[in-house]
Each structure stands twice: as C-alpha cells, then as structure tokens.
Amino acid sequence: MLYRDEALVLRTRKLGEADRIITLLTREHGVVRAVAKGVRRTTSRWGSRLEPFTPVDLQLAQGRNLDTVTQAETKGAYAAALGADYDRYTAGTAMLETAERLVVEEREPARQQFTLLLGGLAAMAGGGRRPAHVLDSYLLRALAIAGYAPTFVDCAHCGRPPVTSTGELVTHRWFNPSMGGVLCSTCRIPGSATPAPETLHLLGALLAGDWPVVEAAEARHVKEASGLVAAFVQWQLERGLRSLAYVER
C-alpha cells in the first residue's frame, strides 16, 4: 500500500552496499523507518534529498518491518545552512535526537511535534537567533507537548502561586527537575538548585517563546538556564541526550 506524508529526516544509516535506512518524523504517521534504495550511488537522484535536517514530501510503500521510499521531493534546504555552522549543527542534532526520543509510538500522528521541530529547524537555519536560545526553547516546548511541561511560576508540588499572605509577589527560589520545576519553601527538597529570579524568568520566556525577554537576558542567566534545561531533559528522558554533550552551552 502506498501513502504520502510530510517528513523531516532525523538520521540515516547504511544498509548493504548502496541503500540507507532513513528515520523520519512524519506529520501524520509519527516516526517511520524506511529504506531508500540505491541512495548511496553517485547517480542517485535522492542523495541530497534524504539527509538529516531535510524536510521532504514523501511517497512510501508500506512494508512489514520497514517501509520503502518511492518518491521524495525536498521542501527546504536546512541541511546546508546548519552544516556550515558548528554551533547550529550540534544544536540542531540535539533537536533531532529529542524528537525521536519523544515520539515513541510509530505510525501514530505527531502533528504538534512535527510542526515544532520544523519551526525550530527553520529558526536555527535562519541565523537570526542564537543557537542556544533556539535549542533551549525547543527542548522545553517539545517536552511540554509530550506531557512533561515544567513550571517556573507556581510550586510544582503544591501549586502555590508566588504570592505572600500580604499579596506581595515573590519568586519561588528552588528548582528540582525530579519535581517538575520550581518549589516553594515548604516543598523544597534536598539537592534542589537555587537559580536567580532572572534565570527563572528567562526559562518561562523560553517556554512561552517570548523572544524579546530571551534576547535581553544576561549571559550568566542564559548559561544557568541552559544547565537547568539540560538537567530537566535528562531527568524526563531518563538518560541524557548524547548529542547534547557536543553543544556549546
């Protein structure tokens, strides 16, 4: 049976002498693994169309274990832009790995994750924003879509808002990845971090996509926020992202 879908190439690996297995994030079928036959031959018309970061419009033939790519039309040129810049390439690679880890059900629609990754790669390739900002915003939003939304305002354990009995607005000062975000003084647990209030404000802006706030943040708060994002991702995914080790934080 043939079917069509929009897809982003997440990764590839060699198969035999001329083929590749392509791991794709598709809009309507989630993660799909398919064989691209003859793609490694110099005469292949698909060689550059099925590289990581590439958005494609595909026709596939459904198979028992692996589908087969029968048609491929490129819909964007992100691979060249990301490949020319180390920081953007490594950050983009972490985004691809995250998407594959979060979309666990194969052949199930993943429209929100697909749309978020597509927009994130476009922003990364466009060069208008810092790679670390795009990556951290993507990681927080991808986790939120997957059901792991962190909280940076109300206490993650008891839900207490950051307001005192007199109505004064305060900031919960403790953050713990295992608890899902910030904690009030009553719920804090040993080992919790105590980030600056500006860092928590920045994290909320990254999650919301509030770019004026993100771009106005001081370097020390950006670095602290990136460390907390990495810790939160590692906890929720139960093991760290291999590609995150190569990202300049």
pLDDT digit string (tens) for 131-148? 999 999 999 999 999 999
Q: What tokens were used for 228?
A: 């907390």
Rounded to whole angstroms, the Cα distance separating 231 from 243 reads 14
Distances (CA, A) of 157 to 187, 228, 236, 239: 7, 18, 16, 23
Judge whether 28 and 111 are in contact, CB under 8 Å: yes
Residue type, 104: V
In the prediction, which pLDDT does 106 show? 76
Residue 167 reports pLDDT greater than 80: no
Residue 117 reports pLDDT greater than 60: yes
Number of residues that this document lists for the chain:
249
Rounded to whole angstroms, the Cα distance separating 86 from 172 reads 36
Neighbours of 215 (CB within 10 A): 12
H-type alpha helices, 84-149: 86-102, 111-126, 131-145
- List strand residue ranges (DSSP E) for 43-183, in order: 55-61, 67-74, 174-176, 181-183
Q: What confidence category does residue 222 fall into, taking pLDDT thresholds of 50, 70 and 90? A: very high
